[in-house]
Amino acid sequence: MTPRRVLQESDELLFWVEECLVQEIRIVPAWLVARLTVVLRQAHPELPGRLGRERRPEQVMEIIYDAQSALMEQACRSRGPGEVIPLFARARERMLREATATL
């Protein structure tokens, strides 16, 4: 999975953790923790260890924020520089031909 896709997944998980706060659920459900562990592992190998047995939504959100930071950095590095598209390639070629022809 690409870093951008994992970042999208982390956004979805963050939404559900925020819902736990809104609904006043004091611990994050197990199904959410299982998905979160996969995302954390892909973001950084130490993050699942930080999660450990922590299930309080506020603390889980902080760990997700750290994962998103790592994922954004990975996404930026994975893209690399883009290909430069010459806008006026034909005009430039013509100018170069004319310049060499007059020499």
pLDDT digits (tens, 9 = 90+) for 28-80: 999 999 999 999 999 999 999 998 888 999 999 999 999 999 999 888 887 76
d(CA 25, CA 17): 9
Q: With a threshold of 0.85, does the pTM exceed it? A: no
Between vectors from CA 54 to CA 52 and to CA 24, what angle results, nearest 5°? 155
The predicted structure's pLDDT at residue 76: 82
Q: Which residue has the higher pLDDT, 94 or 43?
A: 43
Cβ neighbours of residue 33 under 8 Å, at least 6 residues apart? 51, 55, 60
Can you count the helices (H) and strands (E) in the chain? 5, 0
